[in-house]
A and B are shown apart, each in its own frame.
Chain A
Amino acid sequence: MTASSQRLVVRPIEDRPFLEEMLKLRWSGASILVRGQFLAPSQVNAFGAYEGDDIAGVATWRYEGRILYLITVNNVTDRRGVGQALLEAVIAKGKADGAPLLRVLVSNDNLNALGFYQRRGFRIVAVHIGAVDAMRTYKPSIPEIGMNRIPIHDEIELEMGL
């Protein structure tokens, strides 16, 4: 475990200009592909994991109907447990809102995320074959090769009941 004297606190990021600027920098081309659509930073909400005033990680989410979608989870530092803390905050948010389901999509190369979510109560509910390939037609900057040197083609959809 990374030693840290600061407690990790997760709270909504209310400063929209700050959030959108940060996401524009993190999301190549200032948008992110989810479920065959491009989302701009203005279309998501976010939780930040803070150590004091420093941000250690960000999770973004949005509703589509009553279903809560986790869009991204990013660790900004190497502190452990940030993804877990952010996921817990999103789950708590969904439960408080009465959302029946939490869903997340990962690309076929992202085995770390596939493991992370499956170990935390999500199960794979669908595979969208060629979904990333289709979107690359519109956004050629989407890389061909992803993590683990695996070609990126598909989206894998995971879900957990809340």
Chain B
Amino acid sequence: MPNVVVEPATPGDVVATWRDLWNGEVIFTPRGVFSPRDVVGLAARDRNNRMVGLATYAVRDRVAAIVTINAMLDGNGVATVLLERIIAAARAAGATALVATLTNDNLRAFAFFQKRGFRLTALRPGAMDAVRARKPKIPLAAPNGIPIRDYIDVERDL
């Protein structure tokens, strides 16, 4: 387990992370557009109080949706800790399912979720074309060379 403390994120944490890592101030998802005030944020901080991970989620109608999840350092288990905290919080809030949406280029996220109990539930072909029209900073292709085009939905029971 990584040596981090997970605590509620400040609105500034969410705004800064979305601006720096998500190309804008809001997140487009199949369940609607989320602004920072629509989500619960969890920040993981190391012993120097540096933010090393941030996750945001929202619970509606017994379904919890992960809006974003980021680990600023690779491979140290921060994303896993954040996911575990979301699962616990979502259960406490009465949610019975946890959903997430990733893009077709994001093979690491696809592996991450599938290794942690999530099942593929749907493909939304071409969804990112519409998102890109509203968020022009989203590149045509990811750094791994894969064109960014589609949403892939994953889901697990809680």
- Chain B residues within an 8 Å CB radius of A108: 114, 120
Return B8 CB to nearest CB of chain A, in Å.
32
Given the complex of chains A and B, what is the CA–CA distance between A108 and B146 in angstroms? Answer: 17
- Chain A residues within an 8 Å CB radius of B146: 115, 118-119
Given the complex of chains A and B, what is the CA–CA distance between A119 and B147 in angstroms? Answer: 7
Given the complex of chains A and B, what is the CA–CA distance between A154 and B155 in angstroms? Answer: 14
- Chain B residues within an 8 Å CB radius of A154: 119-120
Hey, what's the 0/1 contact readout for A105-119 against B, CB within 8 Å counting as 1?
000110100110011
Interface contact A150-B111, CB-CB below 8 Å: yes
Hey, what's the 0/1 contact readout for A86-120 against B, CB within 8 Å counting as 1?
00000000000000000000001101001100110
Closest chain A residue to B114, Cβ basis: A150
Interface contact A111-B144, CB-CB below 8 Å: no
Segment of A1-9, A63-71, A125-133 in the binding face = A125-133
Chain A CB within 8 A of B73 CB: no
Hey, what's the 0/1 contact readout for B91-110 against A, CB within 8 Å counting as 1?
00000000000001101001
Return B129 CB to nearest CB of chain A, in Å.
12
Interface contact A124-B104, CB-CB below 8 Å: yes
Return A3 CB to nearest CB of chain B, in Å.
24
- Chain A residues within an 8 Å CB radius of B114: 108-109, 148, 150-151
Closest chain A residue to B141, Cβ basis: A119
Further 5 A-B residue pairs, CB within 8 A, beyond A111-B107, A114-B110, A151-B114: A108-B120, A123-B149, A124-B123, A127-B152, A150-B115
